[in-house]
Amino acid sequence: MLKLEQVNAYYGRVQALRDISLEVSEGEIVAVIGPNGAGKSTLMNTISGIVSARSGQITFAGVPIAGCRPEQIVRLGLSQVPERRQVFSTMSVADNLVLGAYHRYRHEHKETIAQDMDFVFEIFPRLKDRIKQMAGTLSGGEQQMLALGRAWMAKPKLLLMDEPSLGLAPLLVKEILRVSGELRNQGMTILLVEQNARAALDLADRAYVMESGEVVLAGSAEQLTADARVQTAYLGRKPVSN
C-alpha cells in the first residue's frame, strides 16, 4: 500500500533520511522504532508531504506522492496523527473532529460525517463528555484521543501515528494502543513511529529500526523482539554475558 524507495530528505542542511526504503502492506501495523533524533518524525512528515524528499520514490496505493502537497496526500487517503498532537487548541472538540473531515465536505453528506463523529465518540466516550470544550483545555491523553479521532475523520486508508505515547501515562498509552488495534481489526492500515519500543512491538506485525536517518534492521515484530541488539538498545535488557 505504501512503498518508500531510497528516500533522502534534509532538515535544513542536515540530512535527516538516508536511502530509506520501507513498505507497508494493506491491513498491517508496521512500527518504526529508534532513538530520539533518528529521523522518525521527519520520515512521517516526508510521507505526509510537509517535508519534501530530495530524492527517491514514495508510492501510496500505486500513486507516486513524493512532491505532492500535504492536502493532496490527505485526499488520497493518508492521514497523520502528528507528534505533540497539534490539535486546534482554541477550537471545540467537535470543531476539531469536523475539520478532520475537511476534504470530505465537498462530496459527502453532512449526515455521514456526523455518523463518523458518533463513531469516534463511541471509541472515546471521554471526548463526548467534552464535546464543547476547547481542545487546549483537554488533558494530554484526551488531546491524543482527539488527534487520533481527527485523523480518523478523514477516512484514511493508511494512518500514520507519530509518537502516540509521548507524554502519556502508561494506562493511556494502553488505551490508545488498544484503539489502534481495534482500528486495524476494522481494516485500517497503520504505520506507527514510537520511542516506546516495547509497546510498539507488542502491537505491530512488522517493524523497522531507525538510527541516524537510516534503517538498520527490519523484520517481524517477533524477530525483532528476540533480536539481541534490539533487546539491549530498546527493550532495556542487559546484554547476556557468557
Residues that bind other proteins (CB under 8 A): 48, 50, 69-71, 74-75, 79-80, 82, 84, 86-91, 95, 98-100, 102-103, 105, 136, 150-151, 154
Query: Rounded to 5 degrees, what angle do the CA atoms 211, 54, 214 make?
Result: 10
Scanning the structure block, which residue is given the C-alpha cell 536517518? Answer: 213
CB 35 within 8 A of CB 214: no
CB of 109 to other proteins, least distance (A): 13
Q: Which residues contact 142 (CB under 8 A, 6 or more apart)?
A: 126, 127, 130
- Comparing CB distances to other proteins, the nearer of 183 and 201 is 183
CB of 75 to other proteins, least distance (A): 6
CB of 42 to other proteins, least distance (A): 14
Q: For the chain, what's the residue count?
A: 242
CB of 143 to other proteins, least distance (A): 11
- Comparing CB distances to other proteins, the nearer of 160 and 173 is 160
| Residue 179 grid coordinates | 484503539
- Helix, strand and coil in the chain, % to nearest 5: 40, 25, 30
- Comparing CB distances to other proteins, the nearer of 47 and 197 is 47
- Comparing CB distances to other proteins, the nearer of 48 and 189 is 48
Scanning the structure block, which residue is given the C-alpha cell 533524533? Answer: 37
